Structure 1
Amino acid sequence: MHHFEEELTCSICYSIFEDPRVLPCSHTFCRRCLEGVIQLSNNFSIWRPLRLPLKCPNCRSVVDIPATGIESLPINFALKAIIEKYQQEDCSDVATCSEHHRQPLNIYCLLDRKLVCGHCLTIGKHNGHPIDDLQSAYLKEKENSGKILDQLTDKHWSHVCLLMEKLKEQKSQCESVIEDDKKVMAQYFKKLGDVLEHKKQALLAALDEINTRILEEYKPVIEKLEKMREEQLELMSLNTSVQKEESPLVFLEKVDDIHRRIKALKQKPLPDFKAVEIYPRIGHLLKDVWAKTEIGQINKILIPKIELVPKRKIPGKSGRKEGGEPKELCQAVNPLAVLPLLIIVVVTVFSFHKPVSSVVMEAAPTYISEFLLLSYQGFCTHLQNIEDVLCHMFNSLMEFLGRAVSF
């Protein structure tokens, strides 16, 4: 607190003097404070005298105030000048009230345990609260600092620490579980990725192998036809040049040679080649088998052996898609009822038709292996729907029997 502040403070409002007025007893108070004291005294008087008696709040002596009121009391100009000079100085080290301009916080409110100014006690929200001076409040709180320490070290804080440790332990356990799950997830998807990559490479290898076989099948035939085409173009060019020959003898000899070469070229037999197709198709396999397989069962799917098979001829007038009739037939007939009949048909063919059966046995390994492979894959992926599996077997068996009879 500034060393002049106590002398500049009104003993009624405990604030810096505002418009200081001097009583006849030489004590100084704020004009507004004296008006409040007189008003309080008049509340108990039933008549208004010519001169107002006032008991000095400091010395308790009774002084007479003229009827004109506090305005007739002299102003303490010396004190007012000191206050104005004091307020003009930089008093940054003195805490002031935020609600009352430039009023120092020099009183301690015991109820709210807060520093307040004199205006807060007289006209502010702390009016009527028990108070104490700043130094006394400081000494009392200093003596009671041990109680504060006791409040900060009682059992409540031990419970807080225990709860904090439990929460940290639970948090650590949850984080550990998450880390374990991350490892398991990484291992699972790595294994799944390895399986898929292995299957992918196997399918690519199968496609590369069949591509090599296609090259072996088609390249010699195409090269032979290309040679015939080159010879044709050569004869056409030779004929054009011969037409320009003016010598009859030379012209006739060359034309005769061209005729002989054309005849020989046309008598060359064209390559005997039957159209083939790729079976099974990887796209159909991925759509019909892989897409319907559970992720955990993908590693059990066998990689098919892709073959080049004779291309099936489809009548153009039917307007049906390939495989339409077997599918419709399968939908019309219950596969569970037809399966015993199919077994009987196969046994009959092999028992009573020796020529056919011998031919079938020669062609059987490829088609039977395809049939068994498709059946196995169908069982692995469609166990939930037996009818779909049997339909698939029925179509494969009908195709097998059709090829066998065609031999």
Structure 2
Amino acid sequence: MMDDLEEDLTCSVCYALFSDPRVLPCSHTFCRSCLENVLQVSVSFSIWRPLCLPLKCPSCRSVVELPTNGVDALPVNVCLRAIVEKYQRERPPTCPEHPRQPLNVYCVQDRKLICGFCLTVGQHQGHAIDDLQTACVKERGAQSRLTESLRWEEVCGLAERLAQEKERSQALVQNDREVVSRFFQGLDLILAQKEERFMQALDGASVLLASAYDPLIQQVKDMQEEHSELLSLSSTVESEECPLAYLEQLHQLRERVNALIQTPLPEIPSLHVAPRAERFFEEHWCDVTIRGLRDAPVPEISCSRTGAQAADGARLRRRPSSPAVVVLLLLVLVLTALCVQSACGSTPGLSGLFHIVSSELAQPLQEMGTFFCCLLQNINTKLNTFISSLGENAY
């Protein structure tokens, strides 16, 4: 009976229980989704009036004209829908392995409902079984025993400990987040300080360059202005008609032109900026670690003359040191007097000194004088070289 009822409640298109059943004018009923599929096929393969949608009944093949809203315009089979819902509530559950086979047997070994096919040809062959009523009496109260076996207190304690552990771990992560933020803020501060010191060094180099070039540029601008004024004055003199005024203005023009011509043109200083930033970074910053970042060097940028200008400056600085020569001469005189005193036993007068020099000590004193002269020249040369190099380094 149930099988016959289910067959009557089955759609002839999808072979499943009716879902939202709709009635066609020909009195046939189909699922709403099935009619929508049929309508799509009918519209795509036919030419119909624009305001109507053709629908061919899957059972009797009669064509029905639907309005523009389509299947929604068809009436719902309310009675059939109620019967289907009641049947779904009251019918026994079916076996998932054997479709349409009711679960009407209880397997004692596996403690689950099975169908007849499961018992005869399925996985439960030879298992002990009970009917549903007897199995229900035996299993009555099993739910309370099952709930008693639940570890409720243990699960609650575990949930509380998990929440506490999560809170503790989040506190650690937040602490690490603050440490990371402070660490990189320190790095940003150090880098900002290094960048500021670099910029200050470059600003100092700009000041040096300005002090070297600006006076020369101003001098050249003054010469350009004088040149323009002389050209204007030449035009004025040329247009002068009075001989006296002409000769006077010409004299002034000649003096100013001669003064401008005799003014020496400034030489363009070729300054060497050192060290350059790119090379300095390659030499001193490529291997800098985070630990050594604080102590990383910052250059002192200098602007020095290059080429012939540096040589001219060196020649100007290499002047003999007259105080040093005087000191060395006094030292030679003292040493000579001591040598004479040691040879004679006492300090003789001027005539005795000349007599001794002419008689006995002439040759030794001459050799000693030659030695001291050579020594003086050597010391003077080395001293001049040292003072010149010291001046270069100081410059």
**TM-score normalised by the chain length of structure 1:** 0.48
**TM-score normalised by the chain length of structure 2:** 0.49
